[in-house]
Structure 1
Amino acid sequence: MKVGLYFGSYNPIHIGHLAIANYMVEFTGIDQLWFVVSPQSPHKKKNNLLDDYQRLEMVHRAVEGDDRLRASNIEFNLPKPSYTVDTLAYLKDQHPNYDFVILMGSDNLENFHKWKNFESILENYGIIVYPRPGFDASKVQEHKNIVVAGEAPLMEISSSFIRRAIRDGKDVRHFLPPKTWEYLEEMNFYK
């Protein structure tokens, strides 16, 4: 089984994340997509980041009923800070028959060379890049393991926009999966 790993804080998960996920499982050859919820980094300011398990719960609610998508807390129990190369090694050990690929925005690809052991990741795992606004596909280094999902929808919605809007009393329910919105309202998050 080919599994796409979509790392993020998901603070909160929104329809942009789901649109990209839907595109990836339908158009790139992956069988399943795992939303890997990244834990709070001990080196970063909290800055409105909800608790790890609250963000995981939002992702669970967002993907409920869609067998192609899964919420993953795999990094919660790994050493902090979590590095993608370590997460991949752990996952490969736990699921030796799965073929893992990384899904990343073109903005993250620009800094990929700064990741811990990026050469090892690049040689051993596929990377599917989804375009972000302003992305120039011609600048992507050519490599057998990097594929640009050129027809993926461009998403300009962001979690920080949603948090700001909620704090300002705006109704942004249609930017979020319905069950995620209900959970945010019930818990009074970001207000």
Structure 2
Amino acid sequence: MTTVGRRALLTAGAAGTAMTLAGCTSGGEEGPRKPTAAERAAAAEAALRARSATTSRDLLLRYDAVVHAHPALAARLAPLRASVAAQVKALAEGGTAAAPGPAASSSVPAPSSASPSPSRSLAFVRVPADPAAALRELAAAVRATADTHTAALLTAPPEYARLLASVAASGAAHAYLLTEGGRG
């Protein structure tokens, strides 16, 4: 999915541009002001939050595509989709000064809803015609998303790392429910 890569690159570029512009002064000082360690950490966290939220938004889009292609799976997928929608919101909220939560100030704008980006369309998500195959592919996407969040733990600040770990663990449970949990 090259769109995720481009979006992450644009987000990182925007954060870098903002940091560069923040360093510019009109006071006649020589050269731009170098960002402080705290400013660099805040920019890195903002970029990580944007990437993590985008990764989960892409998963949410995949849930929507499967439900659209196989309406009979809607009831089974509804609680899992709702969980992913809540994760998208939590991953995008907050900043370095506060833990993610409803009252936290945001260094990255939270999405207005947990819906996928309007620029992305269900038509671009290929869903197998067989419902069982669609669930297997969805489970694989859930596992890949959880793996991405797990890998992000290495660079995340402690509070955000806890959230990422929780989201990744939830993904593992979702993958189980999508595959093994449906048998019986």
Same fold (TM over 0.5): no
Higher share in helix: 2
Bigger Rg, structure 1 or 2: 2
Name the structure with the higher strand share: 1
| Bigger relative contact order, structure 1 or 2 (CA pairs below 8 A, ≥6 apart) | 1
TM-score normalised per structure 2: 0.30
* TM-score relative to the length of structure 1: 0.30
